[in-house]
Structure 1
Amino acid sequence: MHNPTLTLKPSVPSSHGFSLIPQNRSQLNYRFCTSLLPNNGIFSILNCNSTKVHNSNSVKDGKLTSIGVKDVDVATLGNLCVDIVLNVPELPPATFDERKAYMEQLSASPPDKRYWEAGGNCNMVIAAARLGLRCITIGHVGDEIYGQFLLDVLHDEEIGFVGMTEYSDLALVGASYETLLCWVLVDPLQRHGFCSRADFHKEPAFSWLSGLSREVKKAIKNSKILFCNGYGFDELSPSLITSAIEYAVEVGTAIFFDPGPRGKTLSAGTPEQKRALGKFLKMSDVLLLTSDEAESLTGIQNPILAGQELLRNAERTKWVIVKMGSKGSLLITPSSISCAPAFKVNVVDTVGCGDSFVAAIAFGFLHNMPNINTLAIANAVGAATAMGCGAGRNVATLKQVTELLKDCNLNEDGQLWQDLLHENLEAHEVTFLSKTAINGNDNCINHVALEKVASELHSKLEPARKEAILNPSCDFIPLRGVLQKYRIAFILILSHD
């Protein structure tokens, strides 16, 4: 195999061994729990004293309407991994044995840290934090250099971490306990190949995780949105994922689910996987899919009709979001269809675009924004990520997003949208994002000018922009100093809720 070439910027050095939501973002009091990772000084957080904010106990057509104790905007479940991004002369072979040998050769020794990047759900949560949302990640990372790197990245991006490991698991050693690595391989034609150890085992990577701990339940309960994707099944058992869905419903936390490429394999998987997938499709508040994934799950080629079919078969779903790449996106509700063409940009790398897009959908959902505005900002965030190289810390920045919105450069294709909509206009309110305002309705379609939407979005993004200017670096609590000063050990504090 030829030597790989560098494709990512070097990572930013960090000496922090813990990850907390900063005081200047959350303005909340937190109790601290000893880490469930042994002997590494990493700490996870639980919120105990919180303020009243909007949650999703009552949702009407995707709008938040009730009040409750929810002080974290977005929590992600599982899919915490480190991407190793390499340029290779050719993508991995297709056969199982050859592919496994290929990965083992790559894994023989740790590659230079400049190749590392936070991956998986880190893409989504980093993009969300940069939009000003308060975020935590729930998952497992190992007690080695990769786990430390991942937690450093989360810390630097002002994202909290809640470990899933149980005390009974602390004796675990070996690959089953280590941070999951994903090898992201890029050939000379910029095609991507992905492989990880999860690809070569029937059981999930962390199948030893048997249930939701008190800390994890606390994190889900205190979050307005719990985001899960299909790759979570690579790490966590279907029964554990189902428990998280049911608990989120119980405590009034909105569920966002993006099946991704795993949707097709899960729908043809084990009975447990099929049941868990079915639970997501019925109980999620927001479903996010590509047009191909929507067709795979419904057998319907037209993405609008496929989205409407998913809504009909669901019990709680209010929004179905269909991502169509460079063409744009759709937001479908039981009574409306919103269409937004994509922004024209110079695409460098599409990895992480879909994850970044989800973060902006969460932003619009939480801010009760008009549906077309939500699609517009999601398209902008996805496009801004495509302009960079790789995901993780290379996802969209707030500055890039605001510049795209200001340019108002849409990739409009009137024939495409006309073909999609001609079967779906009856009894539905249709809104279309346009470069310019159009007087009156065009075939019952309400055209909304991007300039107007961009102005409204700028006002929503202004608080996050001001915070980024005023607080360019994170003001974290110096936890190790606190431990030394008071000469005490933090112990697990059980809630009396």
Structure 2
Amino acid sequence: MALQTLNPPLRWRPEPSFPINDRTIVDLIPRRWALPQTTISVGACASCQIATGNDGFWDPLVGSETALRKVVPKRVDLATLGNLCVDIVLGVPSLPLAPKNERRAYMERLAASPPDKKFWEAGGNCNLAIAASRLGLSCFTVGHVGDEIYGNFLLEVLEDENINFLGMSKNADQTANVADYQTLLCWVLVDPFQKHGFCSRADFSEEPAFIWMTELTDEIKMAIQQSKILFCNGYAFDEFFPDLLISALDCAISGGTSVFFDPGPRVKTLSNGTPQEQMALQQFLRQSDVLLFTSDEVETLTGIHNPIEAGKALIREGVRTKWVIIKMGAKGSILIDHSSVSCAPSFKINVVDTVGCGDSYSAAIAFGFIHGIPAINTLTLANAVGAATATGCGAGRNVAQLSRVLELLNQSILDEDDKFWNELIGGNSLNNEVLLLSKVSINGHSHCFNRIHISSVVSKLLTIFEAANERGTVSS
């Protein structure tokens, strides 16, 4: 393996990370703060009610979906599946060339000189989990890390951030190649123009990185079903077989757990991948409750240039789809549901580094979904969390701190572009109500959307966090 020279020998431990009985997955680290136990609507859908709190229930059934299913007590807000890695963040004079053999040779040259620990950072789904934990959600990560210096580093970071870990060890073969069980490393290369390149050993194999993992343990199934949300992204296909990911999806649905899916840059390769990958991709697209894309990714997937029209198409084709989120980069973001389209311009900031912005943004979307926050408010919070991350350097422990998020909300400096939003909104069929976050309270040009003043949105968001702060349980 390309990175084998970077990892010391390890001692494989096939046991699960936590003992689990038939009642609860683990004695969770207490969340940093919690909203008062109450009954709220799921994803701003008033027709579907849940009771929150550690002993509450979560029922994501909405609309015409009436299939009976087991409703499992939800003890955790958010679980992530796979994509746990250590980022090695290095400044380089230029990014490696595109051909795979040249990128692999480049990575091997980097691995020949082990980097100082100051360049290490938690990566992958750790970014999302850390951001979610800092917002006050109880989180755990499901995945594999090796029993070596990188794995120990990753587990220490998760523990420090109040995040639990459940290891995937089914079918572990102690006679197998040691490299097959090592913690995944991702080289994050940054050139002088702040452009990023990413490479890991998973990029250079036709098979998943953890080919020995072929089925979910009972502990993992229970953990998934005791979570309100299961988050999975396209990078999980680099680690596990499609059948295993589908089994996690089925497990979540059968237990009443909502599913978030962000295919990310892998959407193109999965769309043109093996029959198993294509089938799994379609399953996630149709069966997930919330889908997240960039504007480029959703166009690649649907062939539709207008992101609102693309989101509507995915809503129509989905079986359980409630929200489609489109991240528009510096312009802001869009949330499409069955009855409306919500648009929120970005916050005006000095961008330092965009790594981890999308992950931390997704954490805020999960927060809004769980707590039934209206779509436009959820987008505003997510934009603020993503922007707060962009003002720092790197991801992992450098993602948004709550104090910085609240500061951006209080300042409420939007980077508005009326021409952009008028053209975008005017270029789609207006069968839905369209809401636009703005510092202007009158209707937009041609009455094609309703402006929602940011002051009213921010005041409601701040009330949520200030109420928790008064109880002395918010960590900045």
Give the TM interval when normalised to the shorter protein.
0.7 to 0.9
TM-aligned CA deviation for residue 169 of structure 1: 3.4
Counterpart contact for 2:306–2:427, Cα < 8 Å:
no
Counterpart contact for 1:121–1:355, Cα < 8 Å:
yes
Alignment of 1:428-467 (within 5 A): 428-438=432-442, 443-462=447-466, 465=469
TM-aligned CA deviation for residue 439 of structure 1: 6.9
* 1:280/1:228 CA distance change after superposition, 3 Å: same
TM-aligned CA deviation for residue 53 of structure 1: 2.0
User: How far apart in 2 are the matches of 1:217 and 1:451?
Assistant: 43
What is the RMSD of the two structures over their aligned residues, measured on CA atoms? Answer: 2.4
Cα deviation, 1:376-416, whole Å, max 9, x if unaligned, reads 00000001101010000000010010000000100111111
Give the equivalent residue in structure 2 for 1:397: 401
Counterpart contact for 1:71–1:222, Cα < 8 Å:
yes
Counterpart contact for 1:37–1:165, Cα < 8 Å:
no
Identity %: 59
Cα deviation, 1:344-373, whole Å, max 9, x if unaligned, reads 000000111011110000000001011100
Give the equivalent residue in structure 1 for 2:208: 204
Correspondence 1:247 to 2:251? yes
Q: For residue 284 of structure 2, what is the amino acid of its counterpart?
A: F
Give the equivalent residue in structure 1 for 2:224: 220
Correspondence 1:413 to 2:388? no
Give the equivalent residue in structure 1 for 2:94: 90
Give the equivalent residue in structure 2 for 1:193: 197
Correspondence 1:307 to 2:311? yes
User: How far apart in 2 are the matches of 1:72 and 1:40?
Assistant: 22
Counterpart contact for 1:360–1:378, Cα < 8 Å:
yes
Secondary structure of the residue aligned to 2:360 is helix
Q: For residue 13 of structure 2, what is the amino acid of its counterpart?
A: P
* 1:322/1:402 CA distance change after superposition, 3 Å: same
* 1:354/1:61 CA distance change after superposition, 3 Å: farther
User: How far apart in 2 are the matches of 1:338 and 1:61?
Assistant: 23
Q: For residue 122 of structure 2, what is the amino acid of its counterpart?
A: A
How many residues are aligned here? Answer: 434
Secondary structure of the residue aligned to 2:89 is strand
* 1:37/1:162 CA distance change after superposition, 3 Å: farther
Secondary structure of the residue aligned to 2:152 is helix
Secondary structure of the residue aligned to 1:55 is coil
Give the equivalent residue in structure 2 for 1:57: 60
Give the TM-score normalised by structure 2: 0.86
Counterpart contact for 2:14–2:170, Cα < 8 Å:
no
Secondary structure of the residue aligned to 1:53 is coil
Correspondence 1:280 to 2:255? no
Cα deviation, 1:273-324, whole Å, max 9, x if unaligned, reads 1011000110000000000001000000000000011111111101100000
Cα deviation, 1:401-440, whole Å, max 9, x if unaligned, reads 0000000100111111111111436331111101142279
Q: For residue 227 of structure 1, what is the amino acid of its counterpart?
A: F
TM-aligned CA deviation for residue 266 of structure 1: 0.4
* 1:406/1:470 CA distance change after superposition, 3 Å: closer
User: How far apart in 1 are the matches of 2:472 and 2:264?
Assistant: 31
Counterpart contact for 1:198–1:205, Cα < 8 Å:
yes
Q: For residue 147 of structure 2, what is the amino acid of its counterpart?
A: D
User: How far apart in 2 are the matches of 1:45 and 1:394?
Assistant: 32
TM-aligned CA deviation for residue 46 of structure 1: 6.8
* 1:67/1:461 CA distance change after superposition, 3 Å: farther
TM-aligned CA deviation for residue 95 of structure 1: 2.1
Counterpart contact for 1:44–1:161, Cα < 8 Å:
no
User: How far apart in 1 are the matches of 2:466 and 2:20?
Assistant: 28
User: How far apart in 1 are the matches of 2:149 and 2:311?
Assistant: 42
Alignment of 1:268-417 (within 5 A): 268-417=272-421
* 1:138/1:434 CA distance change after superposition, 3 Å: same
Counterpart contact for 1:46–1:219, Cα < 8 Å:
no
Cα deviation, 1:193-230, whole Å, max 9, x if unaligned, reads 11000011000100110001011101101000000001
